Amino acid sequence: MKLYNSLSHEKEEFVPNTPGKVSMYTCGPTVYHFAHIGNLRTYIMEDILDRYLRYVGYDVKRVMNITDVGHLTGDSDEGEDKMLKGAKREHKSVMEIAKLYTDAFFTDCKSLNIRRPDVVEPATACIGQFIKVIKKLMDTGYAYEAGGNIYFDTSKLENYYVFHNFEEEDLQDGVREGVEKDHNKRNKADFVLWFTKSKFDDQELKWNSPWGVGYPGWHIECSCISMKHLGEYLDIHCGGIDNAFPHHTNEIAQSEAYLGHKWCNYWFHVHHLNTNSGKMSKSSGEFLTVSLLEEKGYDPIVYRFFCLQSHYRKSLVFSYENLDNAAVAYNKMIARIAAAVKDTSGEIDKAAYDKLMGSFKDALDNDLNTALAITAVYDVLSADTNGKTKAALISEFDKVLSLNLIKNAEKLNAEPETEELPQEILDLAEQRKAARKEKNFALADELRDKITALGYAVEETRQGTKIYKK
């Protein structure tokens, strides 16, 4: 299996530190608000990687953090604490906010068939570990105290900018978005390990430390949680491409300074989900959630399918029109699978099975090419072989893709035949479909009411919109 390694900027043969075992770390959410569907694209692709590694026989241990303290709105240790911001917004405590949005995150993951990691650790449960690591960094000269805070000294490293070729000038004030002055720093790239003089008078979460009462910086959390559960040698570190710098850059700096050797071999970064106006983010106002998609009648699995149709290292453009097209394609696929698996008598055609399975694995072995893996499903449906073989293949594929392919096909086969709809109803249904594409949901609701008034029911199902006589 070859994976693109963001550290080397090349596809590399994946070879774990321990044969047969994979240690995998995933940057988890900062739980101050709902995850938007752009965030969740990253977790979907990480889930595919996790599932495929398990499918081909690796013993995978996957760890994820929950950031419930220390993540400021600016990457350069500036701005407001995100958790405090969420607490103020909703007039709740930080811990209440953390619980609410952690639960919401995993509810979304369940809707999208994203497997829960083997270990999920909130930052607030690891304060002692953070202090231990920071203390050693202080003792070995990699960290210093200034203005009441503890900073990592990036000048001690031969190569700090491991993912990008940034120059010192790139970090000048006002040159890069998010870079602001911090007069305590010895070097512009230095970052906070521990805050002891908070700019927030009402900061809720603080702990005793050798340097005074305070709280951890964001970057130290992932390093420590990973080392706590996965040891000194990490195989794969996952995250969104926007975390490569500075977050993952800082993780490598502090981890390798602490350990004294290379820490992680492979870095797996998923690219952005964009809208027509640019990158989707909470701050930009382009904030779409799984719940919102469900409210509009979309099956979350259709969004997963939409994501898998594109390579994880390509930016993906979201629009309701594109999602509608994905829904149509998904429903047609389910209908074809349903027809293919109606008759599963006979024996599996081994030659056809091996050939088609080979194509599926080849796709995923080539840097997790999910678009070609989806094509492999269509190849099965078009293959000159029997239903039993097709059912067996699609069932195996779905152990990785997790698109409910057989489940929804069987459900479709179990539904009673429906009578042909009158032309008037078909016309109204087409108008409603067009209204939804144009995001005119008020008109779509009005057309639904007209269909209902004519004696027909409109129901949103896992397979799409169903219209039938009441």
Determine, yes or no, domain membership for 275.
Answer: no
Domain membership flag for residue 211: yes
* 33 plus 121 within the same structural domain: yes
Q: Report residue 318 as tokens.
A: 């979201």
Instruction: Establish how many alpha carbons lie within 13 A of residue 168's alpha carbon, considering only the half-sphere containing its beta carbon.
Output: 7
pLDDT reported for residue 171: 42
Same domain (yes/no): 214, 345: no
In the three-class reduction of DSSP (H, G, I as helix; E, B as strand; rest coil), residue 262 is classed as coil
Name the domain count of the chain.
3
379-391 pLDDT, tens digit per residue, is: 999 999 999 999 9
Last residue of a domain, one of 270, 285, 308: 270
Residue 318 dihedral angles phi and psi, to the nearest 5°? -95, 135
Q: Which of 75, 92, 67 is nearest to 204 (CA)?
A: 92
**Same domain membership, residue 177 and residue 149:** yes
> Which of 237, 270, 303 delimits the end of a domain?
270
Q: DSSP assignment of 305-328, as one string?
A: HHHHTS-TTS-EE--HHHHHHHHH
Within a domain: residue 277? no
One domain for residues 62 and 178? yes
Which pair of tokens denotes residue 76? Answer: 């350069």
Q: Which helix (H) or strand (E) holds 122?
A: strand 119-122
pLDDT at 278: 66
Residues 193 and 334 grouped into a single domain: no
Q: What is the DSSP string of 190-249?
A: -EEEEESS-S-TT----B--TT-SBEE-HHHHHHHHHHHHH-S-EEEEEEEGGGIIIIIH
For residue 433, give its domain range. 423-469
Radius of gyration of the chain (CA): 25
Instruction: For 355-374, write each residue's pLDDT tens digit.
Output: 999 999 999 999 999 999 99
CATH of the domain at 406: 1.20.120
Better pLDDT: 390 or 177: 390
When pLDDT is cut at 50, 70 and 90, the band that residue 94 belongs to is: confident
| Longest distance between any two alpha carbons in the chain, whole Å | 80
214 and 334 part of one domain: no
Q: Is pLDDT at 172 greater than 80 in this prediction?
A: no
pLDDT of 130 reads: 97
Q: Are both 407 and 427 inside the same structural domain? A: no
Per-residue pLDDT tens over the stretch 410-446:
998 887 655 678 888 888 888 888 888 888 888 988 9
- In the chain, the amino acid numbered 447 is L
Structure confidence at residue 280 as a pLDDT band (50, 70, 90): low
Q: Is residue 276 part of a domain?
A: no
Q: What confidence tier does 230 reach under pLDDT thresholds 50, 70, 90?
A: very high
Quick one: pLDDT at residue 168? 45
Q: 196 and 78 in one domain?
A: yes
pLDDT at 19 over 50: yes
pLDDT higher than 60, residue 285: no
What is residue 458's predicted lDDT score, i.e. its pLDDT?
A: 80
Amino acid at 406: I
- Do 253 and 129 lie in a common domain? yes
> For the whole model, what pTM was predicted?
0.86
* CATH number reported for the structural domain that contains residue 173 in this entry: 3.40.50.620
| Residue 281, in any domain of the structure | no
Residues 50, 96: one domain? Answer: yes
Which one is predicted more confidently, 466 or 146? 146
Average pLDDT over residues 125-134: 97
Q: Identify the band that residue 167 occupies on the pLDDT scale cut at 50, 70 and 90.
A: very low
Both 438 and 325 in one domain: the answer is: no
Q: How far apart are the first and last CA of the chain?
A: 53
DSSP 32-95: TSPPPHHHHHHHHHHHHHHHHHHHTT-EEEEEEEEB-S--BSSTTS-S-BHHHHHHHHHT--HH
In a domain, 124, yes or no: yes
- What pLDDT does 21 receive? 98
**Residue 216 pLDDT > 70:** yes
Assigned domain for 308 exists: yes
Residue 369 located in a structural domain: yes
Domain identity same for 359 and 221: no
CB 186 within 8 A of CB 146: yes
pLDDT cut 70: percent of the chain above it = 90
CB 92 within 8 A of CB 81: no
Are 101 and 32 in contact by the 8 Å Cβ rule? The answer is: yes
Q: Which amino acid is present at 392?
A: A
Q: Angle at which helices 300-308 and 370-382 pack, to 10 degrees?
A: 100
Cα within 13 Å of Cα(160), Cβ side: 21
